Copies of this chain bind each other. A is one copy, B any other.
């Protein structure tokens, strides 16, 4: 069966996450229903990662298998037409080999987290950033973040519901920068534990506000104890930005 790789963008606000849930709307359900109405048979969406309720995506990768061949552009146009009014868009659609798998072929994932560092409530960014009123020291956050980069046991930064076999991961990049009143955190790794980005960002937020030192962050990491987590950042500031595959340029 022809396999199509999709690049997806979505506003996570109305969804209980990417993965299909029995108790509410999901990106997977919307996309599978749209695909079924286009191709005429049941379709399963496989995605590079799961996202939680309220988490957004700018470039999620996924694939579907379809019984007969479609022109990829026409397939993406038809999917976008059927997805309305759900805030999910197919940005790209291409035919891939049968052994290309959105989840298992993925070599790397990148997230971005947006903190609106301001006193006033959010208007245009409501639901799209975490507001922290107290001034953040982005440089201190960036410096401390480097303690988390590398090969570590991230048990402290892992949800109790995480299903990964091991809490040991290699974090390739954790950069913090300020753009006006927005503090932006970029994280990249081969893969992440459940809640890992939000848990790291929550602790960096404590550092930025002066509540935690860099040493406190190191102690939390070394404790390998979820109880030592300072704070788990809310989902609405998190964006799945990119998934990397063999042969991507």
Contacts and interface: CB of A to CB of B under 8 A. Distances in A.
Interface of A: 9-11, 56, 58, 76-77, 80, 83-84, 87-91, 118-124, 126, 128
A28 to B, nearest CB: 16
Question: Which of A11, A88, A89, A123 has the most CB atoms of chain B within a 10 A radius of its CB?
Answer: A123
B90 A123 contact: no
Nearest to A118: B91
Nearest to A81: B121
A11 B123 contact: yes
A121 B84 contact: yes
- Copies of this chain, complex-wide, total 2
A56 B126 CA distance: 14
Contact of A120 (B9, B56, B118): B9
A87 B123 contact: yes
Given A80-B121, A87-B123, A90-B120, 19 more contacts: A9-B120, A9-B124, A10-B123, A11-B123, A11-B124, A11-B126, A56-B124, A58-B124, A77-B119, A80-B120, A84-B121, A87-B126, A88-B123, A89-B120, A89-B121, A89-B122, A91-B118, A91-B120, A124-B128
A91 B116 CA distance: 13
A206 to B, nearest CB: 24
A80 B84 CA distance: 34
Nearest to A124: B11
A89 B123 contact: yes
- Residue among A11, A77, A89 with the highest chain B CB neighbour number at 10 A: A89
A126 B58 CA distance: 14
A124 B91 contact: no
Contacts of A89: 120-123
Contacts of A126: 11, 87
Contacts of A87: 123-124, 126
A118 B58 CA distance: 14
A85 to B, nearest CB: 9
